[in-house]
Amino acid sequence: MRSDNVKKGIPTAPNRSLFYALGYTKEELERPLIGVVCSYNEIVPGHMNLDKIAEAVKAGIRAAGGTPIEFPAIAVCDGIAMGHVGMKYSLVTRDLIADSTEAMAMAHQFDGLVMIPNCDKNVPGLLMAAARVNVPTIFVSGGPMLAGHLNDGRRTCLSHMFEAVGSYYAGKLDEAGVEEYENNACPTCGSCSGMYTANSMNCLTEAIGMGLRGNGTIPAVWSARIRLAKHAGMQIMDLVAKDIKPRDIMTEAAFKNAETVDMALGCSTNTMLHLPAIAHECGIALDLDASNDISSNTPNLCHLAPAGNTYMEDLEQAGGVYAVMNELTKKGLLDTSVMTCTGKTLAENLKGVENRNPEIIRPIDNPYSHDGGIAVLKGNLAPEGCVVKRSAVAPEMMKHSGPARVFDSEEEAIAAIYDGKIVAGDVVVIRYEGPKGGPGMREMLNPTSAIAGMGLDKDVALITDGRFSGATRGASIGHVCPEAAQGGTIAFVEEGDTINIDITSCSITLDVDEKTLSERKAKWVCPEPKVKTGYLARYAKLVTSAARGAVLE
């Protein structure tokens, strides 16, 4: 066993003495040592139940003959961090999580790992760590939140909550109306109830083969989630016995499967950052252009919030991610020969799977659209690409031309939106919010929700070198590369310039001739860094383009 390095023979007697100091017995040390990486805390609603998940995992490990040893991982609540300096610290935690988990797993020589994440950066951060450490690993997440209900019975969620603020500033909702959303949008623990980033990534743990069936969709408050955690604890022992490692599962074919499922589900645009970063740790390069190729061949089968009015609990009851994958296999869109954490191939896992609700999961021959939920746009404004959640864009905004309204920070843009200075037809440009320029590539849920809440989501586009929450809807185009801080074209956009967006043709252009752009570039001076000390300053120096997943080098 790998753990023999810290527990076997006379040379490791000092090591064993420290295990005895922890209360472990000789009998426990003779079993495989399984690290249980739990990101429980008391500040993230999606993580407040993870102590219960960890206890269930440990019960499963013991039942199958292993010794569980728990250690923590950090987590940020993107909703609480939204709209202020805290959001600069969201994406950057992905690498802190990966680095710290790698350090703990390598320092203590575990034979296997069970990862217990839930929210936005924990899932990709722990997948990155799993790829680096490459010992048998399985994921079991905390599960999604149930949808809320307003007083009149309508279902609601966090994206409606953010949009309610925009409605208030537009005079469409009073303070009591905002309070009603506030008290009902998030009724339980769990990752927020739509197909936002956390749920997108948890669903993709199934698609890529690292999580058991239901990991992305079984609600946090259902007892089935506890049973799933026990089964994950049992299953890690089988993976250890068979020596099935993350890189045996997360192959190039598995990443293609994950991207295909991503397009079918209509996942968050943040997956276009996280999948390349995870693949990078596996020694695999994911190209944004390839994403468009996959999207063009993958029908969009689900319209969960914010794209529609269905929620994660509905997807679970319809058959979950496995039912979506089963639909995709009917057109040969997945490689079902890949190995998974069940110890079986995807083909074996999908036997007997049914789509129990064709209204929630559209059959492959009756999709919402014949192309996928995410599109990568390119043009002179984004030579390296930018991304949009196509499935959440109104038909009226699939093509749009309008004057640029330029802001050098999120704060400037949100003030203008709340003051009623943005009108129908405008293209809001928010720059210097990229991985380097932010630093940290903040999500722009506040401005996009304000636009939607004011009823302008079918008339106004928003473009940024920052990111969007998975809760964002409308013609919200993020990850513009190169970013402004690196001298990308977005840095040279001026107030009133015409921007042409054609999501159907995957193009985005600034209607300014090359000579004028060259003159503007010659005069451009990169602003002083917004943060000059601490972790963010170090991150800004090391981070790469969003087109490469914003990995560190």
Q: What are phi and psi of 404, to 5 degrees?
A: -75, 135
> If you ran DSSP here, which 8-state letter would residue 520 be given?
H
d(CA 407, CA 263): 31
Q: How far apart are CA 543 and CA 447, in angstroms?
A: 25
Give the contacts of 497 (CB within 8 A, at least 6 positions apart). 403, 404, 510, 511, 512
Q: Residue 286: exposed, middle, or buried by beta-carbon count in 10 A (0-12, 13-18, 19+)?
A: buried
User: Which structure tokens are listed for 431?
Assistant: 């720059």
The SS3 of residue 501 is: strand
469, 476, 518, 545: the active-site residue: 469
Cα–Cα distance, 55 to 247 (Å, whole number)? 27
Quick one: tokens of 366? 């009756």
C-alpha closest to that of 123 among 268, 5, 292? 268
Q: What single-letter DSSP state applies at residue 527?
A: P
Q: By the 8 A CB rule, do 191 and 77 touch?
A: no
- Give the per-residue SS3 of 311-366: CHHHHHHHCHHHHHHHHHHCCCCCCCCCECCCCCEHHHHCCCCCCCCCCCCCCCCC
Give the span between the Cα atoms of 541 and 553, in whole angstroms. Answer: 9
Helix (H) or strand (E) holding 170: none
* 469 given a catalytic annotation: yes
How many CB atoms lie under 10 A from the CB of residue 86?
15
Give the contacts of 155 (CB within 8 A, at least 6 positions apart).
Answer: 147, 148, 149, 309, 311
* Distance in angstroms (rounded) separating the CA atoms of residues 328 and 184: 35
Give the closest residue to 73 by CA, choosing from 39, 30, 44, 50.
39
106's CB contacts (< 8 A; 6+ apart) are 133
Phi and psi for 490 in degrees, rounded to 5?
-60, -25
- What is the rounded CA–CA span in Å between residue 433 and residue 111? 41
User: Annotated active-site positions, please?
Assistant: 469
